[in-house]
Amino acid sequence: MGKIRSILLVVFMMILSAFSFSYEPGSYKGEAAGYGGKVEVEVTVSKDRIEDIKVLPNKETPFISSVAIERIPAMVLEKQSLGVDTVAGATVSSRGVLTAITNAVKAAGGDVRELRKRVPAPEIKKGNREYIADVVVIGGGGAGLAAATSAKQNGASVILIEKMPRLGGNTVLAGGAYNAVDPKRQKAQGIEDSVDLHYQHTYEGGDKKGNPKLVRILVENAYPALEWLESLGVTFKDEVFTVLGALYPRSHKPTTPVGTGMIIAHKDFAEQNGIMIFYETEAKDFIVKDGKVAGVEAEDAKNKIVFNAKKAVILATGGFAGDVEYRQQFNSNLTENILTTNHPGGDGSGVKMAEKIGAKLIGMEDIQLLPMGDPVTGSLSGNIETTVEDRIFVNKDGRRFVAEDERRDVMTNALFKQKDAYMWVIVDSKVYPTLETKNNFNEPIGDLIKAGRAVKADTLDELAEKIGVPADTLKKTIADYNKCVDAKKDPFGRKLFGIKFDKAPYYAGPRIPTVHHTMGGVEINEKAQVINTKGNPIPGLYAAGEVTGGIHGTNRLGGNALTDITVFGRIAGENAAKEK
């Protein structure tokens, strides 16, 4: 009896020590910085439990941050712990939500250190599952989703597997620019253009290293593919613009934030048409039977899963800019201190898988950097330029150093030669008439200023002081540039001119070089079939998007990626569905 009593006492002490604090019952607010601004939560506690967590209305970019906003509070509630993992692919938003909850819990009297003790994840034994469809698509970015939609529209049953907890890959993080020669919109703006000119810009802009047949398919199908997206519910603004490195005003901007428009449209189509999407499911290897790709071996957190493809597999796993070691095999200069715009899933796993079964890799050394990285994270977000015509770049001495409408590689190489490889993008208030006006990444300029990611000044002297450049030099730079706008002539060779800088307030935002896009990858032919090292198509295997090489040559034009993934995703889906 005495023994039982002492065991009970020990258990009681253990329970007591586990709850060595109690909350002050009530509701508490907490806030923190997220991906797109401030995140605020309201946490309700009883004496010994977190009872409820509400994320209050916020400016986080819908869709990109939604997994974090849903999952983090649910995990904290379930585990009654702050020691939960961030959601892959939404790290900044996850940390924002978690910090906001932590701040509220602290206010409620919770012992944050105790609550942060990580709850060990249960160990799950791996089992086996098996699925079958006509077409299996690997990767749920823009290319994979376009391929899935197209395969379905051509009568195939479709499975799509995505290794992250959300769709969209890098596509959704891009500014959303889509290049196409557009008979309606460009004409209304008085812009002369032609498919041949788009071809010339693309082919020559990549130093004539792209496959001319694929470039031709890209530019000829750009507008029909845009109309296809519109038929799926994507809406584009009436005016075209010039995105960074596009070389010409034929970039279309969706009416929805960043790259969310096309991803949501494809996701809706998938849900309405029975395309099965497996999240957090990573393709590991192809299954090859009698020389034909017949499926995919994959894994989720619990199981090994076999996906059998009756007709074909489509590889759409994106690029490899996010895998530092791998990218350095092709360009040793791209060390880890050069940040990237890529999401964590951009690790080239698909290229590696394809290489194992004999796919030919081409253009792997052609890796694109942008001069437009956030100095802290390398991300595209925070960029204050809205269109090439309306901004200039100045270095730490307050001087221009390149034609700001040049190719991306030309601008980035010029930036590397400046002090600390650091520059400021400058615009005036014609670009941001109010503090609520948003940049191309759905961020109001006022929020960027508050977060210290951009500065605002009422005079050029004040702007010079705030960005730490000599005022006289900056004023001369601006005055000289304004003369270039009038003369349509520039010593650096710039050709695209928009506003003159004369309407205060002025704005500036800092930028550095960042690794963005891998032009190389698996070789494909005009049908989007993957080519092997002997020059023949690999039966049963198609590819589209950034995982492929041979389209953009040494340098991809800004705004051509979304066109590429849509045009070739659609072609891959159609041909895969028509396989015997």
The residues that touch ligand ADP, with contacts defined as CB under 6 A, are 138-144, 161-164, 169-171, 282-283, 316-318, 345-346, 349-350, 545-547, 565
Helix (H, G, I), strand (E, B) or coil at 557: coil
CB of 520 to ligand ADP, least distance (A): 13
How far, in Å, CA of 118 to CA of 81, rounded? 7
Those residues with Cβ within 8 angstroms of residue 231's Cβ, 6 or more apart along the chain or in another chain: none
Cβ proximity to ligand ADP: between 244 and 351 the closer is: 351
How far, in Å, CA of 443 to CA of 436, rounded? 9
How far, in Å, CA of 319 to CA of 271, rounded? 26
How far, in Å, CA of 518 to CA of 349, rounded? 13
Cβ proximity to ligand ADP: between 109 and 344 the closer is: 344
How far, in Å, CA of 316 to CA of 147, rounded? 8
CB of 512 to ligand ADP, least distance (A): 22
How far, in Å, CA of 78 to CA of 75, rounded? 5
Handedness of CA 160, 166, 171, 175 (dihedral sign): positive
CB of 81 to ligand ADP, least distance (A): 28
Q: Are the C-beta atoms of 375 and 358 separated by less than 8 Å?
A: no
Q: Are the C-beta atoms of 16 and 39 separated by less than 8 Å?
A: no
Cβ proximity to ligand ADP: between 391 and 570 the closer is: 570
- For the record, the structure tokens of 162 come out as 């995505």
Bridge partners, 267 (sequence order): none
Tell how far CA 578 is from the center of its chain.
31
Q: Which helix (H) or strand (E) holds 128?
A: strand 127-138
Q: Which helix (H) or strand (E) holds 531?
A: strand 529-531
Q: Are the C-beta atoms of 140 and 163 separated by less than 8 Å?
A: no
Catalytic residue list contains 118? no
CB of 262 to ligand ADP, least distance (A): 10
| Distance set, CA 378 to CA 108, 124, 178, 258, 372 (Å) | 36, 36, 22, 17, 8
Reading across the β-sheet that carries 26-33, which strands appear in turn?
26-33, 38-45, 50-55
Cβ proximity to ligand ADP: between 174 and 372 the closer is: 174
CB of 208 to ligand ADP, least distance (A): 23
How far, in Å, CA of 149 to CA of 146, rounded? 5
How far, in Å, CA of 395 to CA of 424, rounded? 6
Cβ proximity to ligand ADP: between 314 and 531 the closer is: 314
Cβ proximity to ligand ADP: between 144 and 513 the closer is: 144
Cβ proximity to ligand ADP: between 362 and 415 the closer is: 362
CB of 244 to ligand ADP, least distance (A): 17
CB of 151 to ligand ADP, least distance (A): 15
Of the candidates 53, 33, 35, 36, the one whose C-alpha atom is nearest the C-alpha of residue 44 is 53
Cβ proximity to ligand ADP: between 42 and 299 the closer is: 299
Those residues with Cβ within 8 angstroms of residue 101's Cβ, 6 or more apart along the chain or in another chain: 30, 41, 43, 53, 72, 73, 76, 82
Cβ proximity to ligand ADP: between 193 and 546 the closer is: 546
Return the beta strands (E) in 181-317 as ranges: 251-252, 276-278, 282-289, 292-299, 303-315
Helix (H, G, I), strand (E, B) or coil at 543: strand
| Distance set, CA 286 to CA 76, 138, 570 (Å) | 37, 10, 22
Tell how far CA 214 is from the center of its chain.
24
Cβ proximity to ligand ADP: between 305 and 427 the closer is: 305
- Residue from 166, 327, 408, 556 carrying the catalytic annotation: 408
Those residues with Cβ within 8 angstroms of residue 301's Cβ, 6 or more apart along the chain or in another chain: 124, 280
- Please identify which residue in the block is written with the tokens 């508050």: 450
Position closest to ligand ADP via CB: 141
CB of 164 to ligand ADP, least distance (A): 4
CB of 345 to ligand ADP, least distance (A): 3
Those residues with Cβ within 8 angstroms of residue 417's Cβ, 6 or more apart along the chain or in another chain: 401
Residue type, position 220, single letter: E
CB of 215 to ligand ADP, least distance (A): 17
Cβ proximity to ligand ADP: between 382 and 569 the closer is: 569
Q: Are the C-beta atoms of 308 and 131 separated by less than 8 Å?
A: yes
CB of 140 to ligand ADP, least distance (A): 5
Catalytic residues: 408
